[in-house]
Structure 1
Amino acid sequence: MHGTRRAGLRRTLAAALAAALCAALLAACSGTGRGDGRTITVWSLENVTERARITRGILERFTRDTGIRTRLVTVDEGRLSQMIMAAAAAGRLPDVIGAVPLASVRQMAAGELVDTAAAGRVVDRLGAGTFNRRALEFTRDGGRQLAVPSDSWTQLIVYRRDLFQRAGLAPPDSYQNLLTAARTLHRPGLNGISLANDPSDPFTQQSFEDLALAGGCHLTGRDGDVALDTPPCRAAFSLYGELSGRFSAQGAQTVDSTRATYFAGRSAMIIWSSMLLDELAGLREDVLPSCPECRADPRFLARNSGVVTAISGPGGSAQYGEVTSWVITRTAHTASSERFVRYMFDEGYADWFGMAPEGKVPARNGTPSDPRRFQRQWEAAKAQGTAPLSQIYPKETIDQVRYGVDRMQRWGVLQNQGVLVGAMMGELPVPKVLAALASGQTDAAGAARQADGDVAEIRSSLE
């Protein structure tokens, strides 16, 4: 009965979204966008106070340079789909949206809410050869450029290199090495790994997907059917369950608690995004390392931590990460919006990715006349306005973060399943079974079977 009610609710939401999309398409039928283009509305998912301040500064310079005014609205990523639906229903979509994740780009494209021709013209004008090829691939659908890829972050396994060396352990760059290290180093006062199991947070799925991809576990098979109840996925659930159930801290583990445990020196490894790096180096006053050695040496953990990006498993080698983009909407004033997005990839670009270089690796490498311009500016960007990451971490670490997008894979995004991926982020069926797995309420086979059934139900409700 509960499943029937849930499916009925999803069908109601799907119907509401369909009505919203129809309204947006009617508003866009002139094909030239609304307004006279003297003012454009810009949504940005960079809603942290300091990042919003930097964004406003870029937009003010854009207005001074071009005469085009902007209205900035900062948006929480978790509310993006809801706000898009409401704005589309009212015929009041913004002109452009910044920092849009891949699943959201695909969802908007499926609803015909993006101006693919405008995005394509921006990329052509800037030079497709100046962009990272993999980032362009993630934001294209056949010959259509859905959005303009701006920057990326990668998922990392950060580990205590000093503890590994002392124990004679290899870096945790494979299923076997990861499990061996967790088992060897786990002891009272030290967890083998800090691993998320929060059933209400997409971060838990991101952590799992990183390992699942390496194991050859994919969201759907070649026939397009959900494929989570397969031998590769059962193996991935088994690994995650053993790591989180036996060698991670007990109880609910969140994005914040996993970081806190590693920062306190009570964990030998952690799976987190590259956005951890500035905090690990003690550059954020609100999130400082607290290990005993850190009191005398705030950069103790940064100096004694290694990173692994791509991990190898039964399915080969894979790297999870995210590419965020600038979207030009279907109802945008085309000329002004294209000019704005080009500005964000030229005059405003260094400030945009420089607001958080550890988590915003530029997808555009440079310009036709200076092919490495933005890569150099990224290397020199000061994390938290303090110091470039290259002055804190070895070149090997910086290069792994820089080139992580080249090895990046994602569930469903390149298999035309972006709408399903986005819907999964709303209901979180995988984090829910991972929480049950970590607490011993189910086993790997049961987790795979439950996840497969729940995702299949979500997909059915979208048809």
Structure 2
Amino acid sequence: MPLSTNRRRLAVALTAAAAALAVTACGGGDDTDGGSGESSEPLTFWTLESEPNRVARTEANLERFTEETGIEVELVTVEETAVPQQMITNAASGTLPDVVDHPMVMTSRWLADGLLDAEAAQEVVDELDPSTFREAGLEFATVDDTVAAVPTSGWGLIMHYRKDWFDAAGLEPPTSFENILAAAQALHDPENDRYGIVLGNDPGHQVTQQIFEHFALGNGCQLIGENDELALDDERCVETFEFYNELLTDYAPAGTFNSVDQRAAYLAGQAAMMPQGPFTLHRLAGLEDAELANCAECAADPGYLAANTGIVSEIEGYHGDTAQYGRISNLGITVDADTENAQELVKYLVGDGYTEWLAQVPNGMIPMRTGTPESPTEFVDAWQQLNMGVDRDGTLVEYYGEETVTELVDGAQNFDAWGIQQGFGELVGVLYELTTIPAAVGEVQNGVLTPEEAAADVQQKLTDELDLIESAG
């Protein structure tokens, strides 16, 4: 369904919901006092962290918040791929959550759709002191000079690679397109169930978008070019489609792969390289029974892959550019929220409850708030000591060393992403909702489109969506 149809339906539904609320107000109002911080209803908090161990930690964290404040919170888990449509559905029925955990690509989109209260978020940041947040976090959350949601954590996409295989073959680390292609060719051995690389190519999964965007940024392919015009039909974007397709066609296993499928192949010792976020690092160390490494060497040494995996953050394309894609998670306060209580919850989650929030998955939740005015590095220092294991204990430093941890932290400050900082965050939200790039990647892989045609097709689709955005407001 074109996103413009979704938006029209949302506008009609919100109008109907507003009329219904007006009738309700004439009948005597609700159980709240209009945002004074007192309410008989619990806050509703949506989180994207749905794995059972993370849910348990968050529930315990929220119980402590309730004990301290008297404010009750109902935790609801929502899958990241479902949250855009879920927000539209709940907005139409007048049941938006009070606080919503979400990726940065949705902040501008939801603000434009009238779902987020930017003023409430800005007040939280101002009270906590903007200097205690990473600049990148605030920049990616800012729309029209206002922080529209409060940044909590972030991660940069990294290339995991088998150091043992690279060293044995005398290969350079996969820091560039040339090095990646050379390594993929040298290490690809499908007859022995070993592949040069495992990539995301699921047409409905955001990991495909994230990996493509990572490579595109490294090659100087931008969503927005000169004069604030769409630039996805640029030669460098065509080259990125060609590069991605060559890897998929010549050096990756057959089939459709999302992030879970990628991990499974790498954990089985079947892939020389895997571009993905850092959420797999604890699994490589053998610290989660649900996804244990099962490579040939892993039976005797469950942490073998951690010891023999290198990471590369920034990728260099064909033209000397280097970049790393990154993603920040934000906490948004909705327009239907019990505002003061919602602000108290957000302040807690990036304050007294922050370290426990990050402890859900430390390797994938690098703090966007570094500390407090009195203790500027408090949260970063605490994060480095967090246990990243699920069934066994272990820290990032213990398994990967100080240098790797520093690279992960530096990436959280310096990474890049399409369009948001240029003021086109709403269009980026559209791009992710429609999974336009993943669909184009699949069409190139299946021979439906050439790389040139795919770039032109994406350019036209987003031009149409941008026209709709501009005409709407």
Instruction: Tell me the TM-score normalized by structure 2.
Output: 0.90
Q: What percent of counterpart residues are identical?
A: 36
Residue pair 2:154, 2:366 contacting (<8 A) in 1 also: yes
Work out the CA distance in 2 between the residues paired with 1:83 and 1:262. 32
Equivalent of residue 251 in structure 1, options 250, 255, 277: 255
For 1:92 and 1:349, the matched residues in 2 are separated by 27
* Residues 43-84 of structure 1: per-residue CA shift (max 9 Å, x gap): 222222222221111111111111122222222222222222
What 5-or-longer segments of structure 2 have no aligned partner? none
Residue 420 of structure 1 corresponds to which residue in structure 2?
A: 427
Amino acid at match of 2:210: Q
Q: Secondary structure at the residue paired with 2:256? A: coil
- Compute the displacement of 1:108 (Å): 1.3
2:439 is aligned with 1:432: yes
Provide the aligned C-alpha RMSD in A: 2.3
Matched, 1:364 2:369: yes
**Inter-partner Cα distance in structure 1 for 2:226 and 2:258:** 33
Unpaired runs of 5+ residues, structure 1, are: 1-5
Query: 2 CA distance for matches of 1:207 and 1:438?
Result: 15
Report deviation, 1:380.
0.9
Equivalent residue, structure 2, for 1:58: 61
- Alpha carbons of 1:25 and 1:153: their partners in 2 closer, same or farther (altered >3 Å)? farther
Aligned residue for 1:266? 270
The correspondence for 2:389, drawn from 373, 376, 384, is 384
Residue identity in the other structure for 1:437: V
Of residues 400, 407, 432, the one that matches 1:393 is 400
Residues 1:377 and 1:260: Cα distance change in structure 2 (over 3 Å): same
More deviation, 415-424/195-204: 415-424
Choose which of 301, 312, 315 in structure 1 pairs with 2:316. Answer: 312
3-state SS of paired residue (2:157):
strand
Aligned match of 2:6: 13
| Aligned position for 1:231 | 235
Question: What is the DSSP-based 3-state SS (H/G/I as helix, E as strand, rest coil) of the residue aligned with 1:286?
Answer: helix
The alignment covers a number of residue pairs equal to: 455
Matches for 1:101-116 after TM superposition, within 5 Å: 101-116=103-118
Structure 1 residue 35: deviation in Å? 8.1
1:368–1:25 Cα change, 3 Å: farther
Q: Which residue of 152, 155, 179 maps to 1:153?
A: 155
1:334 is the counterpart of 2:339 = yes
| Cα 1:260/1:46, change in 2 over 3 Å | closer
Q: State how far apart, in whole Å, the 2-side matches of 1:77 and 1:21 are.
A: 23
Contact 1:217–1:315 (CA under 8 A) maintained in structure 2: no
- The equivalent position to 2:47 in structure 1, one of 44, 47, 60, is 44
Q: Displacement of 1:208 after TM fit?
A: 0.7
User: How big is the shift at 1:23?
Assistant: 6.1
CA distance in 1, matches of 2:208, 2:76: 28
2:136 partner amino acid: R
1:248 offset after TM fit, Å?
Answer: 1.1
Matched, 1:403 2:406: no
**Which whole-Å deviations, capped at 9, do the CAs of 1:411-436 have from their partners, x for residues lacking one?**
22223323322223333221122123
Residue 146 (structure 1) shift: 0.5
Is the 2:37–2:340 Cα contact (8 Å) retained in structure 1?
Answer: no
Aligned partner of 1:217 in structure 2 is 221
Which amino acid is the alignment partner of residue 348 of structure 1? G
Equivalent in the alignment of 1:165: 167
2:208 alignment partner in structure 1: 204
The C-alpha deviation readout for 1:271-324, integer Å capped at 9, x for no partner, is 111101111111111111111111111111110110011112226111112100
Q: Residue in 2 aligned with 1:183? A: 185
Shift of 1:441: 4.1
Match of 1:294 in 2: 298
Amino acid at match of 2:384: E
* Equivalent-residue separation in structure 1 for 2:410 and 2:226 (angstroms): 28
Moved more, 253-262 or 276-285: 253-262
Whether 1:119 aligns to 2:131 is: no
Q: What is residue 145 of structure 2 aligned with on the other side?
A: 143
- Aligned partner of 1:452: which letter? Q
Question: Secondary structure at 2:155's aligned position in 1?
Answer: strand
